[in-house]
Structure 1
């Protein structure tokens, strides 16, 4: 079965266009592709290990982590209350037309060649005699705004045109000669133009004491391990094959994407970064930041970074982005041009762009990853981060429609031997933070427990058996973003020799470590760099006392004080309580969860409530004294649990936007 898969995809894997690009060309092909995926999933691909052994299915434990310091409850993704609201969605295509133009990479010349399909042109023109012209417009980066320059005049080309090496991306089109307004088709492509391995790097790699693994990071925004199993069971099944290690005790360290990825990529929280490195709100800060790709580049890695949803890119949403290109290959200017110059489309239930031009939004990033790995994974060590938000950020059900889409890419990467050479990290920043899942009893776990899977290739497991053993041990121990950062630093140090000084560990978690070593079995959240509000180690129990209703009101007072202190009271409405969803009491691990609550004046509580202004929902962790009515809460740790996109358009402060309901945006 595996051999049949490889042969049927042999031609595709040698071209630019991925099987998913072909898959988009028509509904008939979509159905055929889906059948192929199902057959592989049900038989060879998902039921066997890479040695052909049957995989052992582990029973669902009562706790992801169970120690004297942490009891992280496990969640049944298919519980009755979850399945009552779960509505799987159906995959949609962007076009039924075949590709008129395809870039093909010539491995001998290491150059891209543009191929025009004359049969497709004849079909679009309803004639094989009508003349047409094809052209492209090169995309170049505009550094000041981390964007792209105005498109230059069209450059016309003919069949088998060799793309110049300096061209990183282009928008292409063909139109009738006699009627230029009759455009046959437009499309857009990003290229991985060949970069020769520097002699010094080649020599260093040859002298390295041990082989250096490539590292490929695939991120899907707002996808918890719980919701992955619910919405993408076939993808989850793929990720349980031999060589994959799920970090079930992986707990996020902050609220949204930016601080969680900052912890992984730099080892800093935004607040500490401002104090010790620079203020990330100012131009040029990110350029001087000690990101992991800089350390990897220093030891010979080729680097790439791509995100979809350019309006919410991690380092550009209410942030200045980069002045200089951060990695060897950087996709933002290309996708920003595609999004700005091509027609876009949203599916019926989409709030974010689903199609750009002829292709699914996220496919641009995934195809870029495929091109990058195909060029170099067998040639030299590479690192790449490929991040998608477009189908997961705003709708917790939408990943279900992309299940076969994502699985097909994993199978394509397998066919391209990426898993033979690379450590692959399949992960998220956090779970859903608003929407229907927030009504479930498991909502606080859903939000705080992102998926985290790490794959080690066979040669790496053989060369470093102690690291594979450590990952297996750490599967059910408390871990965090800062541990992953240290793991990436650990990888950078491999093969560098004993004389090289050790790299600095995560700044904001001195007690954090590489996941290639067993973490402390009785670790607590503080030791993992996880703030109290995001910690899932200690259970909470719902309470309904007369005095417990006062907690939410006191929290709202603090939120209003916060807006006033930031001089936002003239723009943001004073918040008032509508109703309380729930108030929960934190139970120490020394107490019986099912017994009587301990009697105490001061304790930690979680309260979820709605305010009158635009029905905004919030979730706060506080220390409250039920005698003095005093509440201690860090306002900036309070979670907003429904969308605030249309509530705070009057301000640009990324944190304050969570709590501000603008007078100008107030709904009746």
Structure 2
């Protein structure tokens, strides 16, 4: 009668031993792997230790999967306001251009300027050793009353009344074929190494960049251009194109140099000595153009000196700079959108040098830099420009790249969980001419096959070099980037952010897994310690900038990896994203924090996610202004 009780006792003891052993194993494993105990004790962020690039994820057999995004998801749809037009104020301007003439508008004179006397043709060029200055060519000044034949690229027409009082100032730009330049580039092309001339077919390159334009925002606001790219130009969208850095300059640099900014040895001075890709195109016999609006914040000029000499053959900066200084209201200069002026000159350049290989880089900033809803203003001007060029057969030999530098960095969409992903996933379309798609069908299929593979800025550089080599008759590329792979080659599916130099805080092979309440201890402690880090960075300018305090905590997420066959990296390292505001600046910040071996470390920069124009002017002359301007709130 006692045996059943004995068996029950043995089973109970066995269960207790087994359960205790399992718990002991889990505790020991947790200690060995430094699992954080959320909600207990104090969190620590290593003082003054910021891990700028965390590249520790293994490359072994991993596949990046970026979460599917809906451009009109409920989280963001309420913030979307589509606008397709922008009206410029009507100015009664006296001169207009036709072909290579400046003409006086007699109708405007008879209606508004009856005391008109004359206009003065005043050409100018870029001033050497100055990124903003122009040099007036005074020896070429000429007066005219009806029209004048133009011999210079850029000029201002200054019109006077009979008392020599200025009536209007109007800037004009012309693309005048430089036959000497054509002969020089033709000669350079004839001596390039390669196969027989019959196999050489250099392809034009047109890069059109759009400021703060994510793939999702392109869908929302650029529907006419998007439809034209896909239906008329058979463009391929790179759906997993991941930015490499925070803002425009460090995202353009890998495209042009093939390396991240950290390897550039950036002095924030003049940029002439760097081996930018357009120099390789020049050597290969190409004529080159560069045009950007928003000149104060242009890609190569924001808090930098730009270029001593014009970096390309047709450098639009002097003209655009003067447009922004004259009759300027909003996005307009006089009766014209500045962005339309850039597209017009791009089209003129492609037309004028239709029989010469061309490399062009244009970048539109002003409509979308501060407001993602401003992007729609670019849609029709860009679509019409591309459509006109295509109709005239001027894109029949062109590699066209339409891309964003990054997504929107400010505003209500950016503060959503989808907004974080969008900022890091800029738009990127690649269009190849029909003849190339047919003659190199294998390369075109590679491009199509790469649309859902992880790609980034360094791949753009490799692609541009590939185009150069193909134009020389080299079907197998001889030159590639240090890190990237040409979009035209088969990109391996197992590549990682680490292999592409994408920092962890920008890598989209991960997504939010768990959200913590804003009132939780971990949310408060993480936010408070990040604020402390900001104030530490401001110590050396504390006489200029006020001490910041924590305001409102918006969100705290824990991240999980989106890598198939992932390694133990995310089981031993835990990543958090925290969003909060500070006082008195009401600045919105976001930081990525990594937990590893019992310590919390900042990963990458602390990001500012709302506009800060004017708040930090007192540090703009500081040697570290590019960093300090995001955090400083000036005392005066």
Give TM-score, length-normalised by structure 2.
Answer: 0.82
Distance 1:138 1:518 in 2: 50
**Equivalent pair of 1:640/1:658 in contact (CA under 8 Å):** no
Q: State the match for 1:224 in structure 2.
A: 214
Q: State the match for 1:51 in structure 2.
A: none
Q: State the match for 1:169 in structure 2.
A: 154
More relative contact order, 1 or 2 (CA 8 Å, 6+ apart): 2
- Return closer, same or farther for 1:550/1:302 CA change in 2, 3 Å cut-off: same
Give how far 1:73 is off. Answer: 1.2
**Equivalent pair of 2:62/2:565 in contact (CA under 8 Å):** no
Extract unaligned runs of 5+ from structure 1.
Answer: 1-66, 106-111, 347-353
Match of 1:312 among 297, 300, 308: 297
Distance 2:570 2:153 in 1: 65
Distance 2:393 2:465 in 1: 24
Match of 1:403 among 372, 376, 379: 379
Question: After superposition, where does 1:463-542 map in structure 2 within 5 Å?
Answer: 463-497=439-473, 502-503=478-479, 505-507=480-482, 509=483, 512-542=484-514
Q: State the match for 1:243 in structure 2.
A: 234
Show CA shifts across 1:40-89 (max 9, x none): xxxxxxxxxxxxxxxxxxxxxxxxxxx95311012111122322122223
Distance 2:564 2:501 in 1: 25
Aligned alpha-carbon RMSD (Å) = 2.8
Match of 1:632 among 587, 596, 601: 601
Show CA shifts across 1:407-447 (max 9, x none): 22222222332321211111110010011211333011111
**Equivalent pair of 2:62/2:564 in contact (CA under 8 Å):** no
**Equivalent pair of 1:555/1:631 in contact (CA under 8 Å):** no
Show CA shifts across 1:88-129 (max 9, x none): 236232244687533333xxxxxx233334344434447xxx
Distance 2:584 2:572 in 1: 32
Match of 2:533 among 554, 558, 577: 558
**Equivalent pair of 2:406/2:426 in contact (CA under 8 Å):** yes
Kindly indicate whether residue 611 of structure 2 is the aligned counterpart of residue 643 of structure 1.
Answer: yes
Distance 1:663 1:374 in 2: 50
Give how far 1:602 is off. Answer: 4.5
Show CA shifts across 1:553-579 (max 9, x none): 222223333333xx2333233332212
Secondary structure in 2 matching 1:633: strand
Number of equivalences = 558
Match of 1:149 among 134, 139, 143: 134
Distance 2:570 2:463 in 1: 43
Q: State the match for 2:547 in structure 1.
A: 574
Q: State the match for 1:371 in structure 2.
A: 348
Distance 1:611 1:502 in 2: 52
Distance 1:555 1:591 in 2: 31
**Equivalent pair of 2:582/2:588 in contact (CA under 8 Å):** yes
Show CA shifts across 1:215-255 (max 9, x none): 01111100111011112222222222252111111010000
Match of 2:176 among 189, 193, 212: 193
Match of 2:333 among 356, 372, 377: 356
Kindly indicate whether residue 369 of structure 2 is the aligned counterpart of residue 393 of structure 1.
Answer: yes
Q: State the match for 2:251 in structure 1.
A: 260
Kindly indicate whether residue 262 of structure 2 is the aligned counterpart of residue 271 of structure 1.
Answer: yes
Kindly indicate whether residue 314 of structure 2 is the aligned counterpart of residue 329 of structure 1.
Answer: yes
**Equivalent pair of 1:221/1:389 in contact (CA under 8 Å):** yes
- Return closer, same or farther for 1:498/1:392 CA change in 2, 3 Å cut-off: closer
**Equivalent pair of 2:238/2:452 in contact (CA under 8 Å):** yes
- Return closer, same or farther for 1:609/1:181 CA change in 2, 3 Å cut-off: same
Secondary structure in 2 matching 1:580: strand
Q: State the match for 2:36 in structure 1.
A: none
Secondary structure in 1 matching 2:372: coil
Kindly indicate whether residue 593 of structure 2 is the aligned counterpart of residue 622 of structure 1.
Answer: yes
Distance 1:498 1:429 in 2: 30
Give how far 1:502 is off. Answer: 3.3
Give how far 1:551 is off. Answer: 1.7
Stretch of structure 1 that moved more, 209-218 or 255-264: 209-218
Question: After superposition, where does 1:126-137 map in structure 2 within 5 Å?
Answer: 132-137=117-122
Q: State the match for 1:59 in structure 2.
A: none
